[in-house]
Amino acid sequence: MVLIGMTAALTAGAARSDDRKEGVPARAEKGMVYIPGGKCRLGIRPEQQERIARAYGANAIHLAAPPERVVDLPPYYKDDLPVTHETCFQTAAAPNFRDHDGHRTLLTTEQGFRPVTAIRHPVNPRLWCQEFVLADQARLQKTSPVVTGPLIAILSRDRRWLVSPVPLSDEPIRLFNNREYTCIHSNPPSRVKPSEQKTMRERIYFLHGSLAGLAARRQADLAAGRRNGTAELPDS
């Protein structure tokens, strides 16, 4: 069993130190927001790169990860619109998981786990895509059976392994699958307005086991997170 943990800090137009305004008026035009300039840390530290390499049995030099560095960003303007974060987990390059037919891509519904090919849903303008906004599912019952979430997963060809991206800091609001790339999404609420900030925790599960085991593992991890203060889901 392999777990990949991710923490995403999403900031829309957050003010930075070392504000520089030379040549850029601080008064924004209508519909635009002024973003102060300053220093921004990018890339990955050497010890992080080594840890990832060990986890995958790879040479760190082959990861092609950009080294950690500090860049000096000039001030700029952006549209006064919220931004979002979304993890797209693709399996197109993994022959044992690739599932263009959709028979091994399963979602939790009111009738338990069902493959996307067994869920009647409105046609998406992009025919290979299936999108399930969970609030709409509950209210409008657009699919049969109704997709309830919170899980979406792809089974390996021998059906002994599965992969599933899972939000741990909040319940997902949207499940998505694109059979062209055989990618799966499980998206927590992530909209932030300019000057707001939000931190999200996600985990990608590679499990040798069953879908029932995946559901049980998620519940156990959420319970452990509540005990140590790293998860933010309610107890209900």
Percent of the chain with pLDDT over 70: 79
Distance, in Å, from the CA atom of 126 to the CA atom of 161, rounded to the nearest integer, reads: 29
Q: Is residue 66 part of a domain?
A: no
Domain span including residue 124: 2-18+82-228
Q: Which residues of 9-48 are buried (b: 16+ CB within 10 A; e: fewer)?
A: ebebbeeeeeeeeeeeeeeeeeeebbbbbbeeeeeeeeee
Q: Which of 149, 170, 161 is nearest to 205 (CA)?
A: 161
Confidence of residue 15 (pLDDT cuts 50, 70, 90): very low
Report the pLDDT value the prediction gives residue 127, as an integer from 0 to 100: 82
Average pLDDT, the chain: 80
Q: 183: part of which helix (H) or strand (E)?
A: strand 183-187
- Which pLDDT score, from 0 to 100, does residue 163 have? 95
CA distance 138 to 54: 43
In a domain, 24, yes or no: no
On whether residue 154 sits in a domain, the answer given is: yes
Please, which residues have CB within 8 angstroms of residue 168's CB and are 6 or more apart in sequence?
201, 202, 203, 221, 222, 225, 230, 231, 233
Is residue 186 included in any domain, yes or no? Answer: yes
pLDDT for position 23: 55
Using pLDDT thresholds of 50, 70 and 90, give the confidence band for residue 28. low
Residue, of 90 and 25, whose pLDDT is higher: 90
Q: Do 24 and 74 contact (CB within 8 A), yes or no?
A: yes
Distance in angstroms (rounded) separating the CA atoms of residues 130 and 176: 6
Which band of pLDDT confidence, cut at 50, 70 and 90, is reported for residue 14? very low
Residue 117 lies in a domain: yes
Predicted pLDDT of residue 230: 59
- Taking the C-alpha atoms of residue 179 and residue 184, their distance in angstroms, rounded to an integer, is 9
For the stretch 145-189, pLDDT in tens is 999 999 999 999 999 999 999 998 889 999 999 998 899 999 988
* Residue 224 in this model has a pLDDT that exceeds 70: yes
Q: Are 213 and 207 in contact (CB under 8 A)?
A: yes
> How much is the pLDDT for 218?
93
Residue 68 lies inside a defined structural domain of this protein: no
Total number of domains constituting the chain: 1
Q: For 67-126, write each residue's pLDDT tens digit.
A: 788 889 888 887 877 777 788 888 888 889 999 999 999 999 999 999 999 998 888 888
- CA 181, 84, 82, 45 torsion: positive or negative? negative
222 inside domain: yes
Structural domain includes residue 156: yes
Q: Nearest-CA neighbor of 165 among 119, 206, 111?
A: 206
**Can you tell me which residue has the tokens 């993994």?**
94
Whether the bond between 150 and the residue before it is cis, its omega within 30 degrees of 0, is: yes
